[in-house]
Each structure stands twice: as C-alpha cells, then as structure tokens.
C-alpha cells in the first residue's frame, strides 16, 4: 500500500522524468519539490515505491524512473488535469473554425491535437450505420464515367466515380436518379446496403444497357455505404515518433505498422474503458496484446449526431499525461459542440 507521501514522490519522479528524460534521485526531488523532509526520508519512500514495482533503477547507482505500473498509478491518482492556456484554447478554436464538412472537421481536429501535444493524434469516425441517406446525385462526366454522390442526414458526403461504359441523356439520367433515390433516400445506411444488394441480385442476369449501368452505379453506392459502416481513423503526427525514438527501447516498426493499418488501434480504442470524465488511458504493457507494449494511448469520447466515437493520442509511455489528457478532452468537447451546432443548423 503506497502512502500519500509515497504517491507525491511518485508524482515528482514522473514529472521530472518526463521533463528531463533523466533518472531522478532523492537529492533532485528535495531540491525541486517542497516536501519538507530530508533526502534520506525520500530515499526510504523511493525504496518502498521500488518494492511495489512502481519505479526502477535503469543502471546501478542511478536515480529512478517510473515503470509502466508507476505511470498507471500516477494516472489513476491524478487529482486534476493541467489546464490548457488561453493561447492553446484559442488555437483549438482557430483550427476547428468553419470546417467545410465532417471530413474537414476531423482532419483539422488531429492537426490541432498533434500541434498542441507533439504526439500522434487520431480521431475515430462516428459510426454511420444508423444514419439515413438524405440525397443521392449523379453527374455525368463523359467518357462513360459517372460521379455518384451520397449524402447522409449526419452531414457525411461521399463521392465516387463509376465507369458505366455508356452515355445517357437527361431523361435517362433522371430515371437513374429516381431509381437510386427510391432505393435509398430516407432509409438507414444499413437498410440501404441490403436494398442495394437485392437490386444487384435482381439485375444480375440482364445485359440491357440500362441494367448494366444501374448495376455498376449500385455497386459504387454499395461500396460507399459500406465505408460509412466501417470504423476508420483520421491520423496526424506520425513523424513525431521519429523525434521521440529514444523513448522506445525497441523498434518503431510495430507502431508504424499499427498506424498504417489502423485495425489494431481501433481494436485497442474499442476496449478502453472511459471514466466518468470520458477519459481513458492504456499504458505500456497493458497494450502487449496489441503489439504496442512500448506505447501509451489516451482517449476522450466525443458525440456526433446519432453516434459517438473517440479522439486520442498515441505516444511513448514517457509522456505528459496531465497535459495530453487535458488537450484530448478539450478537443473532444469542442468537436462535440461543433457537430451539434452543425446538426442544429441543418
């Protein structure tokens, strides 16, 4: 059982190690922090923390550094998050001001977060499976190409070019729009996928010019709707890992691979349990099952119309948890307000 002063010593070790990247000794703690006790007393507290496997000596006769377990205890006992400065809050507001659409808002979100923290930033797309399709548009591009635009009531817009191999007059184009609209508009993305799949089966045997084009357009729409249903991440700041390479004992390859493929990070984020404040942290060896045992992930929930998702940071275990968690929470709250205002204005 760690005493209250022991927790304060652990907090000092974590803070100093994050700031300096140097092992922390008892004399350093006495000099930098007002404990009002001797270095010998601090050494006794450090010995107890070492017995609890919360700190460790990286070298003989050196100071101590936090273990993954020590970071976990530190995060679990955070009394408060370090407040963002007015300049940081203004930067968030500026980054996220008047986005063109959801894609733009999420891209701006990760850019803001990586600039604030120097970590890899990520934001999860909300699930659009329950969103309703509000509009389908077709634009003939020439050369047998057709642009298919699908819009949902949550503001998500997708565009895909389909090679329909033929040209159609305005009357035919209007009929195509009407048929796709009757299949999709006013229906959920999930229901739309099922109806499109049925349409593809029904028209599979027809070689008529009309049905060939409609089948190709329906496939394009089905691919778009499937993307709406899938979890995806927008990420920024991968280059920061190279600057922090000294914080990782092994290769950066597992982290870079996880960033590229996204599936591992999405699984990890899906299993993280947020507290009452909407924040969650998964630290070091807690991520071994995902091949990310040298990294930490902190996330905060945000709300989107009809769904919810997470904003987060990925970085080394030696990170400024209070500041990073405060930044993640602030950005998540701002994104929630932004999406709520956008939804109410439609």
pLDDT in tens, 204-228: 554 577 778 888 888 888 887 777 7
241 and 225 housed in the same domain: no
Helix (H) or strand (E) segment spanning residue 130: none
63 and 102 housed in the same domain: no
pLDDT in tens, 230-267: 678 999 999 999 888 889 888 888 899 999 989 999 99
169 and 266 housed in the same domain: no
204 and 250 housed in the same domain: no
pLDDT above 90: residue 60: no
218 and 240 housed in the same domain: no
Q: Is residue 257 part of a domain?
A: yes
Name 66's bridge partners.
55
Q: Is residue 253 part of a domain?
A: yes
Q: Which of 203, 229, 255 is the last residue of a domain?
A: 229
Name 124's bridge partners.
233
240 and 120 housed in the same domain: yes
Beta strands in 154-294 (DSSP E): 157-163, 233-236, 279-283
The CATH number covering residue 245 comes to 3.30.450.40
Total structural domains within the chain: 3
121 and 154 housed in the same domain: no
User: Could you give the 3-state DSSP secondary structure of residue 128?
Assistant: coil
Q: Are 335 and 323 in contact (CB under 8 A)?
A: no
pLDDT above 70: residue 346: no
Q: Is residue 319 part of a domain?
A: yes
220 and 258 housed in the same domain: no
pLDDT of 166: 87
Q: Are 144 and 167 in contact (CB under 8 A)?
A: yes
Q: Is residue 164 part of a domain?
A: yes
Q: Is residue 293 part of a domain?
A: yes
213 and 314 housed in the same domain: no
This prediction's pTM: 0.78
Burial label for 197, CB within 10 Å (0-12, 13-18, 19+), is middle
pLDDT of 202: 64
pLDDT of 344: 60
CA atoms of 148 and 218, how far apart (whole Å): 9
Q: How far apart are the first and last CA of the chain?
A: 55
Q: Is residue 245 part of a domain?
A: yes
CA atoms of 314 and 133, how far apart (whole Å): 34
Chain-centre distance of CA 280, in angstroms? 12
Q: Is residue 9 part of a domain?
A: yes
CA atoms of 246 and 103, how far apart (whole Å): 34
The CATH number covering residue 34 comes to 1.10.10.10
223 and 235 housed in the same domain: no
Q: Is residue 81 part of a domain?
A: no
Q: Which of 214, 229, 244 is the last residue of a domain?
A: 229
pLDDT in tens, 128-178: 666 788 999 999 998 889 998 988 877 778 888 988 888 888 998 898 899
Q: Which of 197, 229, 261 is the last residue of a domain?
A: 229
Name 310's bridge partners.
301
200 and 247 housed in the same domain: no
Q: Are 77 and 70 in contact (CB under 8 A)?
A: no
Q: Which residues have CB under 8 Å from 285's CB, separation 6+?
A: 68, 293
The CATH number covering residue 138 comes to 3.30.390.10
334 and 259 housed in the same domain: yes
Q: Are 298 and 324 in contact (CB under 8 A)?
A: yes
Domain with 18 in it: 4-76
């Amino acid at each position: 059982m760690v005493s209250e002063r022991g927790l304060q010593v652990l907090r000092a070790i974590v803070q100093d190690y994050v700031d300096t990247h140097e092992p922390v000794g008892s004399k350093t703690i006495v000099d930098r922090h007002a404990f009002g006790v001797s270095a010998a007393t601090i050494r006794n507290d450090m010995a107890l923390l070492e017995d609890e496997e919360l700190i460790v000596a990286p070298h003989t006769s050196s100071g101590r550094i936090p273990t993954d377990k020590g970071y976990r205890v530190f995060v679990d006992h955070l009394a408060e998050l370090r407040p963002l400065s007015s300049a940081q809050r203004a930067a968030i507001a500026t980054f996220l001001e008047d986005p063109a659409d959801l894609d733009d808002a999420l891209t701006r979100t990760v850019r803001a977060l990586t600039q604030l923290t120097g970590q890899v930033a990520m934001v999860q797309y909300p699930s659009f499976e329950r969103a309703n399709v509000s509009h389908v548009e077709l634009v003939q591009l020439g050369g047998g190409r057709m642009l298919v635009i699908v819009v949902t009531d949550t503001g998500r817009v997708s565009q895909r070019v389909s090679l329909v191999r033929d040209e159609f007059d305005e009357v035919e184009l209007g009929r195509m729009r009407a048929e796709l609209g009757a299949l999709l508009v006013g229906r959920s993305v999930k229901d739309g996928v099922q109806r499109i799949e049925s349409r593809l089966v029904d028209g599979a045997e027809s070689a008529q010019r009309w049905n060939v084009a409609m089948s190709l357009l329906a496939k394009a729409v089905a691919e778009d709707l499937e993307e709406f249903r899938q979890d995806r991440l927008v990420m920024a700041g991968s280059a920061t890992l190279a600057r922090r390479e000294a914080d990782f004992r092994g290769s950066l390859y597992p982290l870079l691979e996880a960033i590229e493929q996204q599936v591992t990070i999405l699984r990890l984020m899906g299993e993280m349990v947020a507290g009452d404040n909407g924040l969650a942290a998964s630290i070091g060896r807690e991520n071994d099952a995902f091949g990310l045992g040298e990294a930490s992930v902190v996330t905060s929930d945000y709300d989107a119309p009809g769904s919810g998702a997470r904003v987060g940071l990925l970085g080394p275990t030696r990170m400024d948890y209070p500041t990073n968690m405060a930044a993640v929470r602030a950005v998540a709250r701002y994104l929630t307000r932004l999406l709520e205002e956008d939804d109410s204005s439609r």
